[in-house]
Amino acid sequence: MTIRSLFILLPAVISGGILVHLIWPDKGFKSILFKIFLGIGIGLGLNSLLYFIYLLVSYRQVGFIVFQILGLIILISILLYRGKTYRVSLRGLNLPGRMQIFTLLVTGIMVVLASIIYATVSVREPQGAWDSWMIYNRAARFIHRGGNQWTDAFSPDLYWYFHADYPPMLALNIVSGWDTLGQETVRVPMVVGGAFLFGSAGLMFAGMNAYKTTGQASLAMIVLFGISAYIEQGSKQVADIPLSFFILATGILIFLYAIRSQRELLILAGLSAGLAAWTKNEGIVFMLASLVALGAAYWNKLKQVFPWYLLGLAIPLSILIYFKVVLAPPGDLFTDVASQVAQISDSNRHRELLNQMGIDLMSLLNWKLLLVYGLVLGVEKPGKNLPAYLAILIAILLQLAGYYSIFIISPHVLAWHISALYRLLLQIGPLIVFFYFCVVQPPETAFQLE
């Protein structure tokens, strides 16, 4: 059943990779490697959007797999028709030096260890964490079993603790797999969770490799897998890791745009930000943060940047708005505005939250080791890439400010929020890692390695 669950995701993943390649026809080897991993998340994100539309208009009269295969055939046909234009080049493929070989070996060991942890946690907790089975898998079961009444998965009669207002990207991918298999199985959410977990790691490596060097890419991936609980949470099928994928992808694409000035990268960045919003409510915060960050960093080039970014954002944002307006029940955050306003002036609440955010941010990464590493290798001057540095830094700070603001005004007990704060930081953690290794010089440059 695990192999079958893996194979039913392939049409979506392959379609995502081909679509990314068609939008951004860069032929370099490093770009192709990056597009392979980017296609995993883009493919699954678009698959959920397509399945949502399928549910709205088809009433399941035709199996969804038919539309998946049809879409894949169309994309492959376009790719073959334009074959000469998209012939892969070995540009950017260099043989690794001794230091790079060493870091690649360590990276390989980390991947093996991560795979063992993923398998162990999946077997131990096949239903995933509480959020997984109570929010996303619960919604998936409602949709799968509901027939024409599938929208009951988002009924306002559900207790707020079920968070029926959450965007259904993860649940829809699970249901599409169940519909294809003809049965519910825990293997599908396991495989979806694993795809985003290892896809994020591959995205980190390929993105850093495209922007910097192989050695820097290996170190970035090692640090990502070294984040406490990242692998475990990814194995527990929660939406925080898929969200971290789209946040990371958006940041990498913005960096690549800074050095390559290819507007197609902005389209993909907007698409990725839109899929982040389609994944979880915190993704909506990031989508807004990315718009503000881009506006601030490229204030003198708004006409060159915003139209393409908004073009990529358009489809996922339109469907998200429809979901929120038509199907989703009201959220649980704005239930007592008067008391929430009073909480803003509660100094104890601010003090407690700031203290915990500081603790969790410091424990997210081994900051002492990274500080020493940065001091030894030095900082790289951003040069013409300064707008990208500013955009990502502003987006990270705004995302953290978003977490902080929501926790301050939330009607729920602050201690309950604080208990989940570290997991929320995992959403932005990979982008922080990527930003750090963009700022620090790569080992090949610092030590003049060949």
Low-confidence stretches of the chain (pLDDT < 70) are 1-2, 59-61, 83-97, 332, 334-339, 446-450
Residues forming beta bridges with residue 440, ordered by sequence position: 379
Those residues with Cβ within 8 angstroms of residue 214's Cβ, 6 or more apart along the chain or in another chain? 94, 96, 100, 103, 104, 444
Q: Evaluate whether residue 83 is within a structural domain.
A: no
Q: Evaluate whether residue 17 is within a structural domain.
A: no
Q: Evaluate whether residue 82 is within a structural domain.
A: no
Q: Are 201 and 214 in contact (CB under 8 A)?
A: no
Q: Evaluate whether residue 279 is within a structural domain.
A: yes
Q: What pLDDT does residue 336 have?
A: 63
* Distance in angstroms (rounded) separating the CA atoms of residues 113 and 197: 13
Alpha helices of 24-61 — where are they, by DSSP H? Answer: 29-58
Question: Which DSSP letter does residue 61 get?
Answer: S
* Distance in angstroms (rounded) separating the CA atoms of residues 94 and 10: 30
- Full domain range(s) for residue 186: 102-446
Q: What pLDDT does residue 89 have?
A: 54
Amino acid at 79: L
The per-residue b/e assignment along 217-248, b for 16 or more CB within 10 angstroms, e otherwise, is: bbbbbbbbbebebbbbbbbbbbbbbbbbbbbb
Give residue 106's Cα distance to chain centre. Answer: 24
Q: What pLDDT does residue 449 have?
A: 46
Amino acid at 370: L
Q: Evaluate whether residue 75 is within a structural domain.
A: no
* Distance in angstroms (rounded) separating the CA atoms of residues 137 and 175: 9
* Distance in angstroms (rounded) separating the CA atoms of residues 27 and 287: 29
Q: What pLDDT does residue 200 have?
A: 97
Those residues with Cβ within 8 angstroms of residue 413's Cβ, 6 or more apart along the chain or in another chain? none
Q: Evaluate whether residue 79 is within a structural domain.
A: no
Domain count of the fold of the chain: 1
Q: Evaluate whether residue 84 is within a structural domain.
A: no
Q: Evaluate whether residue 97 is within a structural domain.
A: no
* Distance in angstroms (rounded) separating the CA atoms of residues 323 and 325: 6
Q: What pLDDT does residue 94 have?
A: 58
